[in-house]
Structure 1
Amino acid sequence: MSDTSGEGAADHLVFRILGPLQLIGRGGMIRIPPGRQEVILAALLLEANRVVSTDYLVDLIWNDDPPDTARTQVQICVSRLRKIFAGAGIDAAITTRPPGYVLKADGETVDAAVFARQLAEARLLGKQGRAAEAADLLKAAGRLWLGDCLSGISSDTLRSKARQLDEERLTAVETRLQFELDLGRHHELVGEIQRLVHDNPLRERLRGLLMLALYRSGRQAEALETYRVGRELLIDELGLDPGEELRQLEASILSADPALHTAAPSRQHSPAPAAPDPAPAPADAPPPPSYRDEIPRQLPADTADFVEDEEQIASIERALTGDGTRRAVGLAVIVGKPGTGKSTLATHIGHRLSENGFPDGQLYCDLRGTGTPATSAEVLGRFLRALGIPGPVIPEALDERAEMYRTLLASRRTLVVLDDAASESQVLPLLPGSSACAVLVTSRVRLTALPGSYRVELDVLDTERALALLERVVGTGRVMREPAAAEALIRTVGGLPLALRIVAARLAARPHWTLASMVQRLANERNRLDELTHGEMTMRASLSLTHDGLAAGDRKLLRLLSMAQGTTLPGWLAGALLDDDRPFPSDLLEPLVDVQMLDVVGVEATGGFRYRFHEIIRVFAREQLAAHDDSAVRGAALERMMGGWLSLAEQAHRRIYGGDFTVLHGSAPRWELPESCVDELLVDPMEWLDGEQANLCQAVEHAARERMDELSWDLATTLVTLFEVRGYLDQWEQTHQQALVAVKAAGNKRGTAALLSSLGSLYLSRSQHDESRTSLGAALDLFSELDDAHGLALCRRDLALLERMHGNDELALALYAEALRDFDRAGDVVGRAIVLTQRAHIWMRQGLDDTAQSQLDEALDIYRSVGYSGGLARTLRRVGQVLLQRGEHGQAVSTLTEVLELCRESGDVIGEGHLLRDLGQALSIMGRDEQAKRFYDSSLTVREQIMDQGGAAMVRLDLARLLERTGERSRSREMLETAARAFRDRKMSRELREAERLLGVAPDAGAVFRTEPAG
């Protein structure tokens, strides 16, 4: 039962809205600046742990007249709130989740959530006849209130929502008073209820409670007078008579009904009957699978100053949405030279169509046609993960990925936006098969070979639209005062939207400049260039003008930042490139954002901004880098940037595993970020690794290309922390092969061994046993030559697992023993725990349960001591299997349920499918057939929804045996036939033999099917 004292609950509160808005940090009350930040925090708290759209926040602040910068100002307010949280030591986060934000907070820290929980618990206690406990809990809930909800907040919309909570407060008070009256406390309640009736004279339930309390206190006349006053008030104010319940209460008082002295029959409850032999909670109520169809919202932010060509947009939208009779996927291609706004137009159309045209989501990918193009397989992998498919389930072959992708989109209305395509061959595998979907492509080449495509070729802006754009950025008044200069300015930049935006932003930042002076400046710049009429030369002129107007330090940062490879860049890179250790390094980038040499394209969960170069600006900055910075300057900055990526990845691994365990590190220099910045970035280290996956992989490639071999192998192997958990097997192999080229060219034996050892683990994950043995053997030879204990331990552990999977238990045990000695020599306790957990399975298989359990107990102690939850979950699962084997079925179910919750908390859908199946097997052994079926069905649902057909077939095999035993032979046979087809397709020979045996030999089908657990 929850704490009912009120004070105990209040001790944990961080956010208070039941009264004035309050924020409580580790040092006490925190001031929230009044105005926008206050409104945004209040709105997020009213919907705590639910998404609040940016549009809704904009409307709250500006009603129907938001400025063009409204969304940016909301982003800034959210960023400032995040900094307030971090500075106050508040354990909560405002994360970006399309179409807006969500405030993630423990329910016990938000007073409204505590109030709602206590109210629900009190109602349950009342139904169970425990009125005294219910009343005490409602008193505690009442003490959470410090006044009217969100008193002092100016927003009418928020006040309307707050009044709903105020109403719930009064309802809770009435419910508590009813419980106390039922307990015979009428004498003590009269005064309190009189005050409440005075404050709420038209509330009939309160008036009825007062009449009842007065009557039970021997004050019949006052009770009837209370009714009379209330009746006259209702008639005068509302023209209504009292309701039926109040009239009936008056009649009962007049007749001195004896029932008025007892609790109402509806409130008298007998104790609930005891349930015979209560089963464990998971068996009685199998939890549903946590998997849900994902709705991706991947479009970048829309552009506030976008100038529409409605006819052009309408034609593209018709091509995408069709008229209802189209049989093929809608396909439109936007082409044009750099700077004409292809990506901006595509993003704008995507947002326009997002809800009505394609409600099942939008997939987006930058295909990098102007750099190293993304492969179709890589893009499909990203899209499949965005659609909810875990990495290990994604097939390797391009055609199999494309088939899975088309299958997932067959029943959805989804828009796919492919930005900066390089060729038709890159795009074709990314086309859905369903006519309900559509694809919007941008490219610098015409892509004429795409079948059935509608092509739009963008040109520069005409004068009318260019003037509209200029007016939106610098203001209509300035343009109207200098119409000739405005048109001259448009001609000078050649009508290119990007160039015009850059120049307009410069004017907007300097209201004392005239448009004519800017025209003159551009004319002077043009005199310094050779080719003035070419589009890119016009762009270069405007870029040069903006670049030369920057401070020297900002110019240097722009040049150095061009070395970064990622599509989007984090703010801390600025500090690394300039060797500046300020706590908020993104501040260094603001001058570049102000003049639009760098775009803000998103906000991270931590509150930091994400930045992006326009490709032409990146090219320009690289030209400036080559012209102004020598190789020593460039090399030092590159080393710091790469060292920053390595340092953060290393610290993320350390926070996940509890130390530098199960990973090898080299001697490459690190660049250490400020501690506060690291803590902010790595609040959730696995999520940070996942969010920066593309940049981290590109950093490995970049380091390998720059012959930074020591850093490339160290970063690549450190990233296995991410690749292994999230199933990014393609990235695992790609980064390692790139780094392997660099270390071999440099003669780096330890780096070569580390990469080969890690590749051996990858091949094991893919069941490529021959490749794994070869890679691990080569690594073992190198580590032996180097006498590297840690490397030897990792190799021998995986070689032992390989032997165990082939049934060579004695050889596996010998290798595990050697691995343990090596891990102990290296001081790697987590490595030791992993070996103990894996080795325990052999003892289980040999019937030595006590030996297995002792190994697992030691592993659990290690994982708990370092705080490694992933290892804890895997070992606890094995403990549950030992308990099941011993016949301790109830304890096994309890343990496996605990692991199931761990999997769900970490988002491990694959693990969830395994645990649901484990629980089904346990309950089947216990003879709880109906409960076992529910768990098997839940496991099957998970497996099918992530398209893991092999795993689904294993569950079907288990379920078929159970169905045969319960007499459902027709369904059992159907399950077996489906499973056999899947086993045959996937060359799972042992499982196929078992399925075929059951299909042919029905009498044996009642036996419990046991398979070796994964891992």
Structure 2
Amino acid sequence: MRAGSPDRAGRLRFQVLGPVRAWTGDRPVDLGPPQQRAVLAVLLLHAGRPVSVPQLVDALWDEWPPPRAVGTVRTYISRLRGLLEPDRLPRQDGQLLVSSGGGYALRVPGEALDAAGFEERLGTARRLRGAGDAAGAYEQLRGALALAEGVPLAGLPGPYAQRQRDRLTELHITAQEELFGCVVELGGHAEPMGDSIAGLRAFAAEHPLRERPQALLMLALHRAGRQAEALAVYAATCRTLDAELGTEPGPELRAQYEELRDGSAGHGSAPAAGAGRGTGPATGPATGTGPATDPGSGLATGPGSGSARDHARPSRPARDPADFGGPSPVPAQLPSDIADFTGRTKAVAHLATTLRGADGARAPVVATLSGLGGVGKTALALHVAHSARARFPDGQLYADLQGTGRAPADSGAVLTHFLGALGVAEGAVPDGLAQKAALYRSLLADRRILVLLDNARDGAQVRPLLPGVPGCAVLVTSRTRTLALPGADQVDVEVMDEAEALELFGAVVGAERAAAEPEAARQLVAACGGLPLAVRIAAVRLASRPGRTTAGMVSRLSEERRLDELRVGDLAVEATFRAGYEALDPGPAHAFRTLALGGLPTFCRAAAAAMLDTTDDEAEAAVETLVDAGLLEAHGDDRYRYHDLVGLFARRLGEHHDSPEERAAAQRRLFDHAQRHGDDVAAAHAQRLLSDSRQGTGPYGPAETALRESRGPDHASSMDVDKDKDKDMGMGMGMDSDLVSAMDAHELALVRAASARGRYGPARRPAARRRWFLERPDNVRRPGDGVRCLGRVPPFGRHLRGATRPKEP
């Protein structure tokens, strides 16, 4: 039974010969994020044998585990138990995923795993063929190959998954060889010989350094009466082995050639498994004896190196692609460079050095650029690619992989596009992904081509599009930081600092106009959080309105209006964030909305756990998922933060998706957590919630200034701003009295912490704000302990003396 075929009996079944999936009967099971699925794969492939926690840590991270790797593994195990046995009662021992010998074992029958069925059929086919039953072996091999759904363990990270991917790939290729051997031996009784030759020719082209497919193709052509073509295959194989490995064919392939040349090859058995040197790990063109090739992609999945001789030889001219329909074109597909590109000096220099390294590299050079949506990954990649064009005279290929959209680009469709750009006629493009990838790599051999893959979704989408030989280079942009491309140089693209953002602003709006209002320009780029897309949109809007001032634009960027204002034409900051958000599963999406409610500059996993009402380990898994998706930033060890604009977007989503009671409950849990964990945490939280430092506007400077402005000529307008601020800190949001009391308690914690250090600055703004709140005509609350404590601190007592008097009834 295929892994994905219906099973009405309700049995649990697993697939690893493709993306890791599971079904209970015919109902799919959501197995969670890639690392959790990787843990499941390790347990499945150990076939019921116990796997220790250190083994699982090594399987996921090898020598570089994160600080809380063991806790993360145990969290994955706990979740998998719930997914695989949803009806298990609390504290009841599991029957499937059990603790055993200091580790864990997954007790499922062998027939529940597609890989076990594959290997069993392969072994049966070998026994049948050894007994002379080629027809029976053919049927077993067809059944085995039908189980494969693509690249084994597709998309799973970690060294164990890579090793198993290579092993299962090699088994898949060996099964294909043996299937073609049965077809040739049966002489057209299994399937029409013409179809067999076509399939065998594509298979041999996909694996030009494996000698057995070449021998099978020679024998099939000979038996079809195509003697000249059979001998031509041998000649081509000799040239390939000499050019790529500096060696000659092995004895089995030479013997096959001599039989064909002498006319002595009859209709006996086809070459047996193991014939020729090409039965080791599969190799793509010009990769030497490199790592295995993924079925369904034809791509080397390991680092790949090639022989030493490959690197000592000078580069040769590109292969003649005349067989593919015309002269060899030089593609130049890069979109235009950004005319007003500014900043990024260090990143540009780093990537330029990386691309220069393609000259003497042992494998294609790959660099990944990851970061928040709108941070300028594509602009940076395009600028670097254009600067390096001279180093890649054979052309530049470009594709938008649409990784953040609802329908990411299909790798096969992208390969068809690339093959056409490389001169392959439409009718000569193979049908399968593996065949397209093999032809693509063959055409890139001995050519110096730069490939830019923009907006990638994951590594599985990218891997078939990578060249197979040194001399080429690839730039990949993606919001995810976990593409898992072997040997890739990973570049995190951060938001711009103030100087870079001002330079970009001036480049768009004009240097003279930017210099006319320097302070307003600084406020504008601060309101944009240094995000290049936001700065560009604001600058474009200003440039299109010559009569509008920068200060006027700043005033339009209040927190409530900011996302609405940061849009022009088809560019919008909110739309960019939404594309990443909509790619999240429901759990991480809820975490994204909820964690923004705290408004903290940074937070740890314990604070996240409090807001999400879950364990520390599960909270860490959720925030790491958001980091991987480019929606949250890791800021040191166990610290995370939202970009200001992303936080605004998340809170806006929360207002639409989560009830006020849910949001208030999450905030209350965070307040309680801050109180339980000491003054430092509480003070930091109170300072964030009760200050307006993110806005940089309004009457909340030092306390004296705040009070003076609140009573000055602009009292009414200040009141309006103050109401916005109160809304920002939790006032006027329908919070219940418990929450407001909690805020009083946090003010008290804030002042205690400040007093202990002799630093009162952090409490000035809460003091001024609380006096204004207490003096409002509609206020009926008595001052809390926090306010009275503020009044006792000498620097603030004079500002709160009146506010702390009880109101007349």
TM-score (norm 1): 0.26
Q: Flag the structure with more relative contact order, 1 or 2, with Cα contacts below 8 A and sequence separation at least 6.
A: 2
TM-score (norm 2): 0.32
Between Structure 1 and Structure 2, whose CA radius of gyration is higher? 1
The structure with the largest helix share of the pair is 1
